[in-house]
Amino acid sequence: MLKQLLAAGGLTLATLGAQAGWNFTGDALAVNDSLSLTTAWWAVGDPDTPFNLSGRPAVDISAVEAAAGLMPYALDLPSEAGTEGSVALRSFTVAAGDTLSFNWRFDTLDADFEDHAFAVLGGQLFTLATRSQPGGPLNTFSHTFASAGTVSLALGIVDTADYLGVSTLSVSGLQVSPVPEPASALLMLAGLAGVLRRRARSAQSAQSAR
């Protein structure tokens, strides 16, 4: 099953039919509430094949950049050029103040070169991690939109310098949370004020009992 960002009190990574949702280039697969991409080639006897998830091989870096909406060489690092990778792409509509967030993890078997994971949001490139700066086992990406409109989100993984050592980007918990309605915000503030009043009374009672 593929995934789609679905409007339902905010957007979320929800299960839909295979004809809808993400556009995949290379080795990318959505299962349950997670999305995974690798740099693994797929061919009988190829050492990468056991790590391939979808049965589609990783693609040339030029195809990765085109699928992500980037200019040529945008995914090169200062010291290493990209060689291959995979991308998942999705467009969706947001309102001003909406917040996109997701959890991600970067794993690599490459011990020599700077394979890296990235996100492209509305044309802006974010490098999530490289081999030498993995960012820890689990990380969170968050972005709040200043204006309303339709935006594209690309998530991807890139092999650099060579075609060896499979790297993987795993994404989960992807959602777009709407800005609270004024009435909801007032209710939240009222509730917080009530909690603070109760705490103050409890503190006063405790002092009086001493």
**Residue 145 pLDDT more than 80?**
yes
C-alpha span between 65 and 31 (Å, rounded): 24
**Residue 19 pLDDT more than 80?**
no
Compute CA 27 distance to the chain's CA centroid, rounded to the nearest angstrom.
16
C-alpha span between 90 and 23 (Å, rounded): 6
**Residue 68 pLDDT more than 90?**
yes
Query: How does residue 41 score in pLDDT terms, banded at 50, 70 and 90?
Result: very high
Structure tokens at 135: 């960012």
Report the greatest alpha carbon distance in the chain: 79
Per-residue pLDDT, 53? 96
Mean pLDDT of all residues in 9-33: 68
**Residue 97 pLDDT more than 50?**
yes
Class of domain 3-179: mainly beta
What separation in angstroms does the CA of 159 have from each of 75, 120, 171? Answer: 10, 17, 18
Q: What is the mean pLDDT of the chain?
A: 84
Which residue ranges make up each domain of the chain?
3-179, 181-210
Per-residue pLDDT, 6? 36
Question: What DSSP string describes the chain?
Answer: --EEEEESSSEEEEE--TTSS-EEESSEEEETTEEEEE-----TT-TTGGG-SSS---EEHHHHHHHTT--TTTT--SS--EEEEEEEEEEEEE-TT-EEEEEEEEEE--SSS--EEEEEETTEEEEEEESS----SSEEEEEE-SS-EEEEEEEEEEEESSS-S-EEEEEEEEEEEPPPPHHHHHHHHHHHHHHHHHHHHHHHHHHHH-
**Residue 143 pLDDT more than 80?**
yes
Structure tokens at 136: 């820890």
pTM beyond 0.85: the answer is: no
**Residue 24 pLDDT more than 70?**
yes
**Residue 11 pLDDT more than 70?**
no
Query: How does residue 136 score in pLDDT terms, banded at 50, 70 and 90?
Result: confident
183/99: higher pLDDT: 99
Mean pLDDT of all residues in 180-193: 55
Query: How does residue 31 score in pLDDT terms, banded at 50, 70 and 90?
Result: confident
Per-residue pLDDT, 4? 34
C-alpha span between 208 and 22 (Å, rounded): 62
Per-residue pLDDT, 20? 52
Per-residue pLDDT, 210? 54
